[in-house]
Amino acid sequence: MAFSRELIRQEKHDLHFISSGPTVHVDLLAAGKVIKRMEVGYSGIETIGPAPNVRRRIEEGFLKVEDYTNFSMTMRLYGGAMGVPFMPVKCLIGSDIAEKSTFKSIKEKISMVECPFTGEIVALVPSVNPDFGVIQAQRVDEEGNVQIDDVLTSDVDGLKASDVKIVLAEEIVPSSRIRKDPVRTSVPGLMVDYIVEVPHGAWPTGMYNYYDYDQEHIEYYAKACKTEEGWKKYKKEWILSSEEKLMKKVEGRLKELKAKKGLGY
């Protein structure tokens, strides 16, 4: 979320966005016209419904979306991380996702082939290697070793698949702390290009073991962004100031959202 807000502040634009199941942050990027194309398996606000700004930008003809499924996008990133050109899946067989495309040709998007071993039909999806990969994690040390406490989903594969790897973390810790619990290290420092300490960088979404979702603010955001005027008002109030000023503004709320020891939220 912090990275997305900063892209809007810096007026970045014309980016091609790739993810498996993005939520509030992709709606921000669409609202700020940071992204012009995206390949995703899902885009919405999980507990509320469709992402309002994504929908509006699509209806305006500004944002082009190439649809996959969550699993097939995850496998595309996994393939990119492994360095292979494609991955086989079955989840697209029988779906109109395999028959329709937006800015890619069907040939570029998917290929139905016969397995040389069993004769069954499988779908091949192209692996993907983004120029930049960005994640927000619990902690990273000075050498770039990344530790993630909760489920990895496609975040780690997406980062490994990318040419430039950027890690935002709740805290930068000594390497000695990482070595005490090495099994939690999801990405080794030798792969990471940049690390940035960004406490509460996932707000208003949550970070397991650090803070819970700010559902109240997410609902406020979704309601405000039903209209373009509402989005502009939200941007002025909640994005255009610096990240430091924004965190100061919600300081009291962040204390309420702090995770309870033993529960994670």
Cβ–Cβ under 8 Å, residues 42 and 17: no
Q: Structure tokens of 47?
A: 């507990």
Rounded average pLDDT over 97-113: 96
Q: What is the DSSP string of 160-211?
A: HHSSEEEEEEEEEE-HHHHHHSGGGEEE-GGG--EEEE-TTTTTTS-BTTTB
Please give the pLDDT value at position 261.
84
Per-residue pLDDT averaged across 70-93, rounded? Answer: 97
- Mean pLDDT across 38-64: 95
- pLDDT at site 48: 93
Q: Are 3 and 134 in contact (CB under 8 A)?
A: yes
pLDDT of amino acid 72 = 97
pLDDT score, position 19: 97
Q: What's the pLDDT score for residue 199?
A: 97
What is the model's pLDDT at position 153? 87
pLDDT tens digits along 236-246? 999 999 999 99
- Token digits of residue 45: 């606000």
Angle (CA) 60-237-211 rounded to 5° is 100
pLDDT band at 226, cuts 50/70/90?
Answer: very high
What is the per-residue pLDDT for 46? 86
pLDDT for position 127: 98
Q: What is the pLDDT of residue 141?
A: 98
* Strand 132-141 with 164-173, pairing: parallel
- Once rounded to an integer, what is the mean pLDDT over residues 60-86? 97
Span 167-190, mean pLDDT? 96
Other CB atoms within 10 Å distance of the CB of residue 137: 24
Mean pLDDT of 71-98: 96
Task: Give the total number of structural domains in the chain.
Answer: 1
29 occurs within a structural domain: no
Mean pLDDT in residue range 118-146: 97
| Beta bridge mates, 137 | 169
- Mean pLDDT score of the chain, rounded to an integer? 96
d(CA 171, CA 211): 13
To the nearest whole percent, how much of the chain has pLDDT over 90?
Answer: 96
Q: Which amino acid is at 107?
A: K
For residue 262, pLDDT over 90 is answered with no
Amino acid identity of 180? K
Residues whose CB is less than 8 angstroms from the CB of residue 8 and which lie 6 or more positions away in sequence, other chains included: 28, 29, 31, 32, 34, 235, 239, 240
Q: What are phi and psi of 190, to 5 degrees?
A: -65, -15
Taking CA atoms, 82 is separated from 50, 72, 79, 90, in Å, by 32, 15, 5, 20
Q: Work out the average pLDDT over 222-244.
A: 97
Whether residue 120 lies inside any domain: the answer is yes
The mean per-residue pLDDT over the stretch 127-142 comes to: 98
Residue 118: which domain range?
A: 86-126
Q: Which two tokens stand for residue 81?
A: 């991380």
For residue 240, being part of any structural domain is answered with no
34 in any annotated domain: no
The yes-or-no verdict on residue 186 having pLDDT over 90 is yes
Q: What is the mean pLDDT of the segment spanning 14-29?
A: 97
* Segment 209-217 mean pLDDT: 97
209: pLDDT strictly greater than 90: yes
In a domain, 110, yes or no: yes
